[in-house]
Each structure stands twice: as C-alpha cells, then as structure tokens.
C-alpha cells in the first residue's frame, strides 16, 4: 500500500508538473523545472538535461544537478556549465552513430535506456563516469536516460537521471518500471512544452525582426529618422521603469508585468511605422526651399540673370548717349542691392526658431520688386507664390501643408497597427503607439484626446518622443539641444498642458534624462549644472 500510495502521489505530482511547465515562459527556467521535476518523481539524486545542438551533431549540457554533492550548474544556479562538460558527439569521425555513450544512444535511437549499475553494464562507455567518481568520491550506479521528442517525433533533448534513492532506506536502487514510465511521460510533456516555448520565442523573434525591417526601411529613406525609431523606445522604457519604481505620489499605483513591458516595447518600436508613407523630401527638408533639391540655387541663377540684364541695360544706355561713369555707378548700386537681397534670401532659406514679420515682408517685397523673363519668355514676378510661402515660414523649414503631411504619419501608424490581429497581450499597442502626439489639454492630434482619456503608457511615449526630438544630433535642420535647454522646453510644455506633469516630475526627479543622455547624447550636450536643477 505504501508503494501504491507513493505511485499515486507521484502521478498527482506529474499532473501538477505538466500544468506548471505549460505556463512557464522562460526557456532556462523551463529546462531547470523539467530536470528538477524528473528528479523529484523518480527520487533521483542527480540528473542532467541535454539539448540537441542546432546542427544536430551533438548533445549540449544545459542543466546539471547532483543533490548529495551540492552540484548545480546552469539554470537559476548562477553557475555556468563548466568547460570540462564538453558536448557529447552523436556521430563518430567516420559518420557512424556514437552508440557507446548512453545519452547519445538514447538520442540517436529515440529509446529509453535503464542501467542498473554503470560499473557492471556492458555495451556502453562509462569511463567518464568513473573518472568523475574518482575525482569526487561519488558512486554512480543506476542510470535512466530518456529521449525528449517533440510533436514531430524529433528528439530535441535527453533527460538523464542518476542514482534512484529508496525513500525508506536512503539506499541507491535501480530505476523501477514505474520510474521509467513516469519519466517518459514527463519527458513527453516537457518536450511539448519546450517546443511550444521555442516556437513562441521564434515567432516573437520573427515579429521583432519584421519591426526592425520596417524601421530599417524608414532609416534607408532618411538617416535622420532611423535613429529616432530606436531611441524613442529606449527612452520610453527608461521612463516607464522609473514610474514603475515610484512608491509615492499620483503614479504610485502604476506597475508593469513582464507582459506589460513587452507590449510597451513593441509599441515604442512601432510608434512611427507610418513614416514609411511620408515623402522623403519632406522628412529630410533641411532648408525652406528644399524639395528633391534646394531651390535656392534657382534663385541664385535668377539674380545672375538680373545682373546681366542690368549690365546690358547700362551698356545700351551708354551707347544711347548716357555718361558712362554715371551709368556704371548706377549699375554698381543695382548690383549691391541685388547682392544684399540675394544674401538675405539665402539666410531666410535656413530655418530658424522664429522669423520676424519684417523679414517676411522683405521676402514679399523682393518677390514684387524684381521682374525677370522666365524660360517661356514671359515677364513674371521674381519669386513664385510657392517660393514666397516657403521663404516666409515663421519657424523651421516646413510649410503648413508639409507639416500636415508629416503629421499624417501618426494617422498612417494607427491605420496600419489597427489593421493587425493583435493577440491579447499586445492589444494595446495601437493605442500606446498612436497617442504620442496627443496633448494633455486635448489640442493634440490626431484624435484630440485629453489626459484622462489616455493611458499612462501613451503619455510616457509622448514625453519620450519630444525629448528625443529636442536632443537628437542627426537632424538636418538643427543641432541637438543641451539638456538644460531641452528640460526648460519640456517644463514649458508641462505648464501649457502639452505633456503630463506627473510623468515629467518622475522624469526629472528620477534623472531619467541623465541616464538617457549618458547613453545617447554627445558629452557636450550634458551640461549637468543646469540640467540637475530641481523643478
């Protein structure tokens, strides 16, 4: 009855182990749990879990445990597999199967091998086992080697147990038929759980690689945005972790699980995926007149045409009887005026923080003041309406229409992400990624959401997106700001309802900006005295 009770207990334990294995997400912990469970249900003193190497030519040590010797390698032990534990070859130099080693035999033939005593067994090479025993004083006796087969009946690993212990006497015994059947059942469950976890990990890796592919496409379109797609997720996670660690204040209840972290990470990586639809000449617009090329050179050419026209007019006047010296002085004055206006337009072509109204009016005056004969032979204004619109841009280099084109990327991002069949643990990705241009006061885009309508994660991403853009060193139209200046701007955004004030408080108080700066900014941007001042 004791033996039957023990068997029932072990069967219940096996069922519980199967359920636990199916819910484990870490492959390392899964492998460790498999071996520990096998030792527990067979009362084995030691054991090793091998995995078939990627090339299919050998078994690799993954987890090693021997309770009586206190040996624990791999898994959560913190101790790596020692160098002496070399991979077990499945095939010899001549290509024949390595049938002399029990674990290799079990993997090659997909058979369980049960050895009563390694010192008397025939047909297998236990020289390594004897050497181990001499070094440690151990006595390896009973062995149970069980192949782990996946759903396609491929052997993906071997579970090897050593020295079954009699629960009553503590003596080493042979692995019983019940031990073998329980171990085989566990190995089957474990192989399925391991395969499922590997498949999930491979799908996740494939998915993240696809995201990287999208960001690479954006990077190839524009080197000025590719780094942004990588840095914003990094800063997003830094701020999210700081908020998660906050123990007081209005954000004290915010906590993230590993699933929450992964979901936010994916959202961060995809937050600008809609930029694949944005024309590259708009994304890379370094000057106001730039399209596929900088049109300031066309204006330079027109000035040159006007200079020559003025010179021809002067020569005609002299031939008509005007005094040459007076005519040349008049020409020089015209040229100086043209050169001043040309230099002014060149400066105006470079986007700045704010173009004053009088400078905008001067552009319009120049457009009307000069007349020229275009290639079609028609006299026309010196500047086209489009050129005037671009050269009078108040701040930056983008017209309103171009800003709307740029801003449309977030609409495209939302459309693209909402079209995907997200699994349950990633269902918030569109909302997190699509909300980073919203404002706390409802004046953002594209949905005009207010603070209370947004998740903490979306608000976090909004701060990360702005701070990265302010401090980025790879923009064609501006240098990267110093920390103190960027923080001052964020502080203003906090005060005018642009960003979340509570998140900004964590951003500054936990010095998230400094952690980010040390990894991604030029040392010259890190002006610590100004940046470290309290809010």
Tell me, what's the pLDDT at 2? Answer: 47
**Sign of the dihedral through C-alpha 221, 222, 228, 230:** positive
- Mean pLDDT, residues 466-471 taken together: 92
Are 180 and 164 in contact by the 8 Å Cβ rule? The answer is: no
Strand partners, 71: 66
Q: Residue 413 above 60 pLDDT?
A: yes
Report all structural domains of the chain as residue ranges with CATH numbers, in order of start: 2-199 (3.30.450.40), 222-278+415-531 (1.10.3210.10), 296-397 (no CATH)
Count of other CB atoms within 10 angstroms of residue 117: 14
CA torsion sign for 131, 136, 141, 147 is negative
- pLDDT for 14 equals 61
pLDDT at 110: 95
pLDDT the model gives residue 293:
85
Q: Rounded to whole angstroms, how far apart are CA atoms 226 and 161?
A: 51
Confidence of residue 10 (pLDDT cuts 50, 70, 90): low
pLDDT band at residue 534, thresholds of 50, 70 and 90? very low
Q: What is the C-alpha to C-alpha distance for residues 384 and 171, in angstroms, rounded to an integer?
A: 98
- For residues 458 and 264, the answer to whether their CB atoms sit within 8 Å is no
111-115, 159-163, 521-525: range with lowest mean pLDDT:
521-525
Say how far apart CA 311 and CA 513 lie, in whole Å: 59
Q: What is the pLDDT of residues 86-138, one digit of tens each?
A: 999 999 999 999 999 999 999 999 999 999 999 999 889 999 899 999 999 99
Q: What is the pLDDT of residue 426?
A: 94
Q: ∠189-159-205 over CA atoms, to 5°?
A: 65
**Which among 475, 477, 478, 480 is positioned nearest to 517, based on CA atoms?**
480
- For 14-29, the pLDDT digits (tens) are 666 665 666 656 777 7
Name the band, by pLDDT with cuts 50, 70 and 90, for residue 279: confident
Q: How far is CA 476 from CA 223, 396, 463, in A?
A: 10, 11, 22
Name the band, by pLDDT with cuts 50, 70 and 90, for residue 532.
very low
- The answer on pLDDT for 331 being more than 60 is yes
State how far the Cα of 286 lies from the Cα of 491, in Å rounded to an integer: 27
Q: What is the pLDDT of residues 206-225, one digit of tens each?
A: 998 988 888 777 777 766 66
Collapsing DSSP to helix, strand or coil, 117 comes out as coil
Structure tokens at 470: 């302010």
What's the CA gap between 61 and 64, in Å, rounded?
Answer: 7
Do 383 and 363 touch, CB atoms closer than 8 A?
Answer: yes
Q: What are phi and psi of 126, to 5 degrees?
A: -110, 25
**C-alpha closest to that of 231 among 24, 529, 470:** 470
**Cα separation of 150 and 273, whole Å?**
37
69-73, 230-234, 461-465, 529-533: least confidently modelled range = 529-533
Q: How many CB atoms lie within 10 A of CB 350?
A: 13
Report d(CA 288, CA 346) in Å as an integer.
10
Q: In this structure, what token pair is assigned to residue 148?
A: 């782990």
For residue 446, whether the previous peptide bond is cis, meaning omega lies within 30 degrees of 0, is yes
- Looking at residues 25-51, what average pLDDT do you find? 86
């Amino acid at each position: 009855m004791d033996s039957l009770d023990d068997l029932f207990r072990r069967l219940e334990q096996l069922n519980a182990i199967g359920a636990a294995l199916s819910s484990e997400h870490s492959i390392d912990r899964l492998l460790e749990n498999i071996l520990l469970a096998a030792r527990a249900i067979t009362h084995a003193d030691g054991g090793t879990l091998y995995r078939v190497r990627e090339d299919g030519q050998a078994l690799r040590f993954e987890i090693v445990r021997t309770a009586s010797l206190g040996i624990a390698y791999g898994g959560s032990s913190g101790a790596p597999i020692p160098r002496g534990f070399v991979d077990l070859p499945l095939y010899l130099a001549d290509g024949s199967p390595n049938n002399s080693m029990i674990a290799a035999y079990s993997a090659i033939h997909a058979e369980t091998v049960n050895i009563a005593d390694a010192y008397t067994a025939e047909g297998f090479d236990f020289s390594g086992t004897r050497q181990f025993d001499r070094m440690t004083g151990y006595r390896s006796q009973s062995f149970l080697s069980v192949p782990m087969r996946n759903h396609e009946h491929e052997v993906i690993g071997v579970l090897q147990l050593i020295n079954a212990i009699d629960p009553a006497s503590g003596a080493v015994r042979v692995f019983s038929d019940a031990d073998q059947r329980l171990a085989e059942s566990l190995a089957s469950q474990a192989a399925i759980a391991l395969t499922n976890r590997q498949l999930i990990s491979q799908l996740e890796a494939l998915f993240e690689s696809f995201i990287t592919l999208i960001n690479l496409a954006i990077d190839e379109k524009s080197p000025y945005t590719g780094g942004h797609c990588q840095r914003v997720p990094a800063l997003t996670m830094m701020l999210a972790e700081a908020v998660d660690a906050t123990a007081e204040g209005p954000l004290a209840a915010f906590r993230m699980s590993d699933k929450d972290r992964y979901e936010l990470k994916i959202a961060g990586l995809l937050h600008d995926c809609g930029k694949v639809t944005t024309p590259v000449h708009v994304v890379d617009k370094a000057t106001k007149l730039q399209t596929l090329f900088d049109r300031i050179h066309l204006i330079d050419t027109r000035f040159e045409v006007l200079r020559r026209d003025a010179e021809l007019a002067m020569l005609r006047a002299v031939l008509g009887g005007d005094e040459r010296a007076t005519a040349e002085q008049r020409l020089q004055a015209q040229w100086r005026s043209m050169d001043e206006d040309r230099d002014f337009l060149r400066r105006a072509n470079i986007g700045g923080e704010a173009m004053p109204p009088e400078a905008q009016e001067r552009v319009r005056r120049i457009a009307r003041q000069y007349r020229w004969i275009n290639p079609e032979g028609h006299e026309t204004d010196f500047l086209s309406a489009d050129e005037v619109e671009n050269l009078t841009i108040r701040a930056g280099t983008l017209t309103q229409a171009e800003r709307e084109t740029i801003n449309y990327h977030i609409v495209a991002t939302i459309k693209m992400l909402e079209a995907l069949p997200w699994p349950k643990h990633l269902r918030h990705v569109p909302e997190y990624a699509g909300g980073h241009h919203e404002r706390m006061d409802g004046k953002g885009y594209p949905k005009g959401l207010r603070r209370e309508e947004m998740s903490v994660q979306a608000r976090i991403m909004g701060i990360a997106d702005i701070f990265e853009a302010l401090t980025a060193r790879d923009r064609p139209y501006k240098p990267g700001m110093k920390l103190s200046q960027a923080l001052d701007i964020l502080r203003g955004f906090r005060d005018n309802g642009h960003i979340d004030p509570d998140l900004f408080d964590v951003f500054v108080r936990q010095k998230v900006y400094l952690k980010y700066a040390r990894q991604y900014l030029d040392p010259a941007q890190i002006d610590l005295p100004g940046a470290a001042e309290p809010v």
